[in-house]
Structure 1
Amino acid sequence: MSSTNILPMIDPNLGKSNIKPSPPTTPPHKNTINRSTRNIRPINGQNKQKKQKHPVVQETYDKKIDVARYRNDYMHNLCMDILKEGYHRAFAEIFELINRQKEEREALGDDIIATLTPLLKDEHEKLSYLSEKLCRAEDAERNDDQGLLYRELKNLAVYFENHNDSWLSDHFYFRCLEIAQTIEHDDGKTQSEANCNLGVSLVDRGENNEALPYLEEFYNLTKNRDWINDDGQQLFPLACEHLCRVYTAIAAKTSRENSEVSIKFLLQAYDVAKEGGSKHAEGITSYRLGRAFSENGDPQMALTYHNSYLEICQQEGDDIGAARAYEAMASCYESQDDIENTFKNLEKFATVAEKCNQQKEFGKACTKLGGIFNSMGNYSKAVEYFGKAFKVAQEMTDTEVLDEARVQYGIARAHKMTKDYMKFININNRESLRELLSWKSTRQAAFSTDEADSDPNNPSNT
């Protein structure tokens, strides 16, 4: 083989000067410097350079944020702040409420929208309060503090109720009820309060049928409990009061359509009024029951409840209520053709009404008494009571009542003259005819011995 084809031998020491030494087996002395790292720039120096640039970057970023806040509306900026703070549920609820209101307004039409209050997104004070409370509520929910969550939502409901935003107050009262149902440590007291708040809110807007189940639940939860609310009121009597009011309102609404259903609700109202211990509520409900039975053609049952009402009024010293009871009882006896008891109760009605200065009621009682005496042929008594009614009517501003009283008084006086007048007609002699002609020409009370003939309030003298 040729020598040119043989590869040269590699020097084993070639390149050793470029090979880094292996690390020492023992740690270097504290004064020993690792020369391999002498030319490396310290990391701390790089960080210092970065920190020097950071304020400039932050300032530029803040300026961009300020410009964006200036260009965007209040609601947009508020929602951005809420999201930056991490309150995603609060943001979602605000966004859902605003969209719901917008959709409901669009469905109403432009003509109605012009007459409505501003949208929630344009009311900055309300939005600010709403976001503050919802963020606090979300904090409470994260901390599993159901009591605080309930109170924050209740504050929102009361706030919007005071501002006549019923759609928002209802929303948060419903939320309160949902949260209250999860609270177990108070035996249902918070749940009872939530039912009460929602029910009363609906009642105040006239939605009695919708409020009924919530107030019935309030009643059931507080029964046989000694719970007291923040105002010092016992909850069970309060539940009875609210439930009685709703039953009565529903009864009044259904009275024309179905009297039996109306009486059923009134009986329920009467029962809860008695349970609640309020004599006033029991008495008023008893009176309404009497009226309902009377209108339904059952005067005997009506008298039972009117008597109960009268007893309560006498116990409580309520003269106005007693006068009302006497009037109602007189009407029941009249429908039974019991003239004696009708007369007795009307006289008591007149006496009590006059005593408590109820002039309108006193005039009404006198008119009814005058009518009874007139129908019985006791014209002197009829004139007496119709005269009192006429005097009362003169002191009132109602011309229709005055005209009616004048006519009735005049008719009663004419009836009173009839006996003497017919006596002169039946005599049929010159002297009697002269007396008749004299009376016709002068209109003097020749046929009456009543002093009312000379009364300046006498209709025939006016």
Structure 2
Amino acid sequence: MSALPVQVLKKLSATLQQANLISSALGSEINRLRLINDKNAKDYLHIDIKEFSKREAAVYRSSHKQNISIEMLQEGYHKSFSEIFNLIEKRKCLREAGGPGSDIWLETPLEEQHDKLDQLQYFLTRAEAAQRTGRYEEVYRNQLSLAQFFKNSGDGWLSDHFFECCFNSAKHIKLDGGKKEAESHANLGLVREKHGQLEKAAEHYETFHHLTVGRIWKDETGRTQHTVACENLWRIYTLLADKMLENKEHKQAIRSLIKAFEMAKEGGDNKIKGESAYRLGLAYLSTGNPQSAISGSRPLRRLIEQDQVVPKEEDGAQKCCLPPLRRRAREKREQQRNSNNMRRGGNHHDVTLSTTPDFKQLDAVQQQAISLGEEVVVPSEEELQLTAAEKTMMDINT
């Protein structure tokens, strides 16, 4: 290399220095780019982790009630949020009022039952959206879904609340002929009956019956709504009559039982017709008037004679048998005879024992007396003054 000219050596040395500078510059740039890329990657990773942590923190830090509340408010469902909040607070107040050891204290608070909160959010937000556009049938369906859900889950206080909401929404539905309104009256009648409010339940059932007359609407079991209305009224009138009999209000009880019998006939169920007729006969008997008791049992006797009602011991229908009623009526007549309320003679009588529904049920002495026209029952003043209920029963029998 020493043999090379000086000028060549200088040029070669300058070239090598330039190459080294270029190499070092390229290396620095590569290292700088690598650092930038590493920094960006770390920044991106830091950003992703930071955003993910924020979402997760919001979910896990807050309760389920708070999360669905925020979601409903963000989506604009303020009414749904208010209803859920009010339901939770109302139950919380009742729970605190009941105190430890009460039934309501032992139940799980609503805000801790996530599946029920989800159901509330789902159906309430849809009902609210439908209400904004005036689609009240959709509002009714969503509220009814909630009522049925909570009824099946055993949360009666929530099902009662949403049956009330259905009743209010049904008033705005005008294009279905009153079907939704009729259903809402029936459901609200069941709610009132469950809480022992029999008079209010009767009012709802009567409206339900009125709206279903002449309609062919059917429920989910295939029965007509009118038949269901008749059975509901028969049941509630019977319950009212039982309450009246406990209070010794015999005339009012008979009137209520006559209405129950009318509903049983209209509904067409022979079993409840037989039970209704039997109860009516017992109610007449409780007034101390055996003749009216036997007269009141005529509809039941006709059902038995036509084999439409067959008394069975296993289902309690043995109450429909007439002999116990006739036996008690005969005991009443014996008491009347002992009280000198009978006299003999065939020419001065108003009512005879021949009016007894079944002649064979009388004892031999009475049969012979009737055949000879010798034994006559003299009606008392109370028997001569038939009540309005008894006259109505006579019309039913004819």
For the pair 1:294 / 2:294, whether they are aligned, the reply is no
Which protein, 1 or 2, shows the higher relative CO under an 8 Å CA cutoff with sep ≥ 6? 2
Cα deviation digits, residues 268-290 of structure 1 (max 9, x gap): 21122222222222221111011
Contact 2:274 2:309 (8 Å CA) reproduced: no
For the pair 1:303 / 2:294, whether they are aligned, the reply is yes
Cα deviation digits, residues 294-327 of structure 1 (max 9, x gap): 0111211111121221211232151445762222
Cα deviation digits, residues 239-294 of structure 1 (max 9, x gap): 01001101111211221212222222212211222222222222211110110110
* Residue matched to 2:119: 129
* Residue matched to 2:73: 83
Change (3 A) 1:346 1:78: farther
2:357 and 2:224 mapped to 1: Cα distance?
42
How far apart are 1:205 and its partner, in Å? 4.9
How far apart are 1:79 and its partner, in Å? 1.2
Change (3 A) 1:346 1:123: farther
Contact 1:330 1:345 (8 Å CA) reproduced: no
Which of 222, 226, 237 in structure 2 is aligned with 1:247?
A: 237
1:190 and 1:151 mapped to 2: Cα distance?
10
* Residue matched to 1:272: 263
1:97 and 1:346 mapped to 2: Cα distance?
65
Provide TM-score, normalisation by structure 1: 0.59
Change (3 A) 1:58 1:80: farther
Which of 93, 105, 108 in structure 1 is aligned with 2:83?
A: 93
Contact 2:240 2:253 (8 Å CA) reproduced: yes
1:154 and 1:329 mapped to 2: Cα distance?
50
1:330 and 1:344 mapped to 2: Cα distance?
13
SS of the aligned residue for 1:291 comes to helix
Change (3 A) 1:58 1:208: farther
1:190 and 1:309 mapped to 2: Cα distance?
36
* Residue matched to 2:129: 139
* Residue matched to 1:318: 310
Contact 1:266 1:288 (8 Å CA) reproduced: yes
Letter in 1 for 2:252: V
2:184 and 2:243 mapped to 1: Cα distance?
27
Contact 1:330 1:346 (8 Å CA) reproduced: no
* Residue matched to 1:199: 189
How many residue pairs align between the two structures? Answer: 299
Higher Rg of the two aligned structures: 1
Change (3 A) 1:162 1:114: closer
Change (3 A) 1:92 1:57: farther
Change (3 A) 1:60 1:281: same
Contact 1:216 1:243 (8 Å CA) reproduced: yes
Contact 2:202 2:233 (8 Å CA) reproduced: yes
2:357 and 2:84 mapped to 1: Cα distance?
67
Letter in 1 for 2:292: M
Gaps of 5+ in 2: 1-42, 338-352, 366-398
Q: Which moved more, 1:283-292 or 1:225-234?
A: 225-234
* Residue matched to 1:237: 227
SS of the aligned residue for 2:222 comes to coil
SS of the aligned residue for 1:260 comes to helix
Coordinate RMSD, CA, aligned: 3.1
Change (3 A) 1:148 1:114: closer
* Residue matched to 2:140: 150
Output aligned runs, 1:365-444, within 5 Å: none
Letter in 2 for 1:268: K
1:103 and 1:85 mapped to 2: Cα distance?
29
For the pair 1:328 / 2:319, whether they are aligned, the reply is no
Contact 1:326 1:346 (8 Å CA) reproduced: no
1:56 and 1:300 mapped to 2: Cα distance?
97
2:77 and 2:269 mapped to 1: Cα distance?
48
Change (3 A) 1:59 1:142: farther
* Residue matched to 2:3: none
Which of 150, 164, 170 in structure 2 is aligned with 1:160?
A: 150
Contact 1:303 1:332 (8 Å CA) reproduced: yes
Gaps of 5+ in 1: 1-52, 350-368, 374-462
SS of the aligned residue for 1:255 comes to helix
How far apart are 1:54 and its partner, in Å? 11
1:304 and 1:178 mapped to 2: Cα distance?
46
Change (3 A) 1:84 1:54: farther
1:119 and 1:346 mapped to 2: Cα distance?
67
1:200 and 1:308 mapped to 2: Cα distance?
29
How far apart are 1:344 and its partner, in Å? 11
Provide TM-score, normalisation by structure 2: 0.68
Cα deviation digits, residues 207-261 of structure 1 (max 9, x gap): 4333222111101111232322333211112101001101111211221212222
Percent sequence identity over aligned pairs: 31
How far apart are 1:201 and its partner, in Å? 3.4
How far apart are 1:91 and its partner, in Å? 0.8
